[in-house]
Amino acid sequence: MLPNQRREKILEMIKEDGHAKVLQLSKIFKVTEVTIRQDLEKLEADGFVEREHGGAHLKNVGIHAKNILLQNQENLAEKAVIAQKAIEFVNNGDTIILDSGSTTTEIAKLISGFKNLTVITNSLNIALILGADPEVNLVVTGGEFKAPTLSLTGQKAADFFDNLHVDKLFLATAGITLKSGLTYPSISDICVKRAMIESANAVYLVADSTKIGKSSFASLGALSLIDYLITDSKINEEDALMLKKHDIKLVIA
């Protein structure tokens, strides 16, 4: 991996988790701690992170967390359209999981008027959106807090889903490729996503078309893990055919 590519992956991880340690990054990328410190120095000079003893944290992450703002605000128009389509698959009396993420947050904003709906989430901002709705039985997982995504992660969050059975999961992702499958910036999220999938009768991946063909750091598994992909109309024909060949029901918003 070239230095620029490695720094991009490091920044992606820090944007997801809020911080990273030199020792951890050294083991992940199989380079020396000196090399990682140089990478963090470059990312700090570029204005993305602030170094601290033994690692670095995302710049201004505390401000976003205190104001309940997600770091990722890209392609919001497409995500809003995807959410409008996704909500069509929710029925009164359903038990659903809303994964953390900006697209699933847009779905949460549209959940009103349903009767006897149970929503399980690992997202604190989604919990705040739905917490006052008397028709929503809201359940929030435990786990380790990640400030940039306002989410709960790690093994404790995954353990919450043991022996749970839900109707539908609305799952987020950072990247979708045929080779790597579903990918995410953070290793700690993988066990949570897997536990969510195992709990759900139907898995709806909600992702804007810019995620297709993009590969992030940690792989969850093959595309066969999902039943539906709900995406926007900017998806190209080649990607659409690839998904259909792998028996994924493609829903265009």
**Residues β-bridged to residue 117:** 136
Q: Are residues 53 and 100 in the same domain?
A: no
Q: Are residues 242 and 185 in the same domain?
A: yes
Q: How many residues appear in the chain? A: 253
In the prediction, which pLDDT does 65 show? 61
Instruction: Kindly tell me the burial class for residue 77, based on how many C-beta atoms sit within 10 Å of its own C-beta (0-12, 13-18, 19 or more).
Output: exposed
Q: Is residue 190 part of a domain?
A: yes
Q: Which of 122, 132, 125 is nearest to 156 (CA)?
A: 122
Q: How far, in whole angstroms, is CA 43 from its chain's centroid?
A: 23
In the prediction, which pLDDT does 234 show? 93
In the prediction, which pLDDT does 167 show? 98
* Cα angle for residues 145, 150, 156 (degrees, 5° grid): 35
In the prediction, which pLDDT does 217 show? 83
Please report how many Cα atoms fall inside a 13 Å half-sphere around the Cα of residue 40, on the Cβ side.
27
Q: Are residues 96 and 47 in the same domain?
A: no
Check which CATH number belongs to the domain holding 49 and give it: 1.10.10.10
Q: Is residue 10 part of a domain?
A: yes
Q: Is residue 64 part of a domain?
A: no
The count of other CB atoms within 10 Å of the CB of residue 128 is 13
Q: Is residue 47 part of a domain?
A: yes
In the prediction, which pLDDT does 60 show? 76
Q: Are residues 117 and 20 in the same domain?
A: no
Q: Are residues 35 and 90 in the same domain?
A: no
Question: The sheet that has 175-177: what strands, in order across it?
Answer: 175-177, 181-184, 218-221
Q: Is residue 67 part of a domain?
A: no
> What angle in degrees, to the nearest 10, is found between the helix axes of 3-17 and 22-29?
130
Q: Are residues 15 and 99 in the same domain?
A: no
Q: Are residues 13 and 120 in the same domain?
A: no
Q: Are residues 38 and 114 in the same domain?
A: no
Q: pTM value?
A: 0.86
In the prediction, which pLDDT does 144 show? 93
Q: Tell me, what amino acid is at 84?
A: Q
Residue ending a domain, among 34, 59, 84, is 59
Check which CATH number belongs to the domain holding 215 and give it: 3.40.50.1360
Q: Are residues 49 and 163 in the same domain?
A: no
Q: Are residues 137 and 176 in the same domain?
A: yes
Q: Are residues 52 and 114 in the same domain?
A: no
Q: Which of 222, 117, 97 is nearest to 171 (CA)?
A: 97
Q: Under a CB-based contact definition with an 8 Å cutoff, are residues 181 and 225 in contact?
A: yes
In the prediction, which pLDDT does 69 show? 64
In the prediction, which pLDDT does 156 show? 96
Residues of the chain with pLDDT under 70: 61-73
Q: Is residue 192 part of a domain?
A: yes
Q: Are residues 181 and 125 in the same domain?
A: yes
Total domain count, the chain: 2
Domain containing 38 equals 3-59
* Predicted confidence (pLDDT) per residue in 143-191, tens digit: 999 888 899 999 999 999 999 999 999 999 999 998 899 999 888 899 9
